[in-house]
Chains A and B, each alone.
Chain A
Amino acid sequence: MKAFPQPKRGPVVLDTGPLLTYLALLYLDSIGAKKAYRDALFWEIRGENRAFGETEQERIGFLMEASRPLLTTAPLVAEVTKLREYSRLAKAGEFRAFSLDLLAGDTFLETTFSLAELHREPRYMELTRRFGVTDAGLLLLADRNGGLLLTDDKPLFAAHSSESRFDIRLLDEYLREVT
């Protein structure tokens, strides 16, 4: 079953964890990976306390399909393709090439922000100091576009205020939310 276009809302912006999770899902689907290998990879990416079973895999697939194009940035792509912390993905030699092909395709839309933009606003400078350039840039993009930022990083919620024009959710919780 394919997802169909939802009523227009702001774009989905993925933080590193959710983006890596989605890329891994597409990669595993592309090689017809068996459950044991899928479990092992998602365990490494999502961690012990985040059960990421087949229902979650189905849901993130539908969510992303319905939300194309997904916004990315160059710093985010750099972080996601580094793979230093993910030995299994790093060992899967073709994963990086597979990801780069996808990230350059029409599933994703690479957008830009400059350090000058972050620097201009004291609030974003403070966020940059706290969370780093990549996350501060994602927050800026999400706010600029009135988007939904999906993250695994609860501390990022501190960047959200009543004046924010974006929504921020934890991926695991969002996948289990129903309308």
Chain B
Amino acid sequence: MSRKSPPTQQAEVSPNIVRAWFDTVLNPLIHGLKIEADVMSRGDLTWRFRTKSPASLVPVRSLLMDVVQDNLEQFLSLHPEFVDPNEEHDAELGRLVDSCRDLHKRLIASEEMQAALRKNTTPEALRGVSIDRIFGAVLPDDFLSVLAEYIINNVERLPRFYTTADFWNEHGAEFLKLRHSREILPFWEDTVQAAARFSQAVDRLIVLLKEVRNDLSLSAGVPIIERLPR
């Protein structure tokens, strides 16, 4: 099939190839994008201060294993309409990562944030609990970064098995409020806007991928899922 083939001729792609696209490209992509959509719908940007990146949000290609990248190439060569939405996803992700980095930097440099940490970690405030016990293996230089991570990820409360749970569940609201302080607000708003645009790009891509998967399935007579899930 020529690269210039109109969409109507794409049914000529053999069922074997469609099966391979489903198993190695389309289904894993849609699954990975659904994980992105899921965390975004919860406001969890999965920001990790150690890697300075969101753990669950990655460029489209990184949702697929290295060994199947050639199948993605083949799919894109016959479905060039996906090139732009993929690039849009990755570009919006890049903007979101940049805004999270800026917000993180601004948060840990914030005097208000530093003052809030000092105030809530005095011996009296900790009521006998050591700060090392709260932050576990985290070095003191990174205490603010841990809290900034929670702020960026919209963590309101933590499950009890986090060492930081008691501290955060008591004082988290105070730290979250800092997002609306004068020095942080512009960076917070940038992040919120970037997150909204990225979410839209993810949702659009899911819809488009599902549409083409359905078309391919019906035209080639290949089931989307070959076996019943467990």
Contacts and interface: CB of A to CB of B under 8 A. Distances in A.
Partners in one complex: yes
Interface of A: 1-4, 6, 34-37, 39-40, 43, 47-48, 51-55, 58-59, 62-63, 65-67, 85, 175-179
B161 A36 contact: no
B161 A34 contact: no
Query: What range describes how many residues of B lie at the interface?
Result: 35 or more
A5 B99 CA distance: 36
A67 B161 contact: yes
B35 A178 contact: no
Interface of B: 28, 31-32, 34-35, 38-39, 44, 46, 55-56, 58, 62-66, 133, 135-138, 146, 156-165, 169, 229-230
Nearest to A37: B65
B31 A6 contact: no
A4 B28 CA distance: 36
A36 to B, nearest CB: 4
Given A48-B229, A54-B55, A3 B163 contact: yes
A116 B159 CA distance: 39
A55 B56 contact: yes
Contacts of B65: 34, 36-37, 40
A53 B66 CA distance: 19
B46 A53 contact: yes
Contacts of B161: 3, 6, 59, 62-63, 65-67
A178 B63 contact: no
A21 to B, nearest CB: 13
A84 to B, nearest CB: 11
B140 to A, nearest CB: 13
Contact of B163 (A1, A36, A85, A179): A1
A69 B136 CA distance: 19
Given A51-B38, A55-B56, A62-B162, A178 B157 contact: yes
Contacts of A3: 136, 161-163
A55 to B, nearest CB: 6
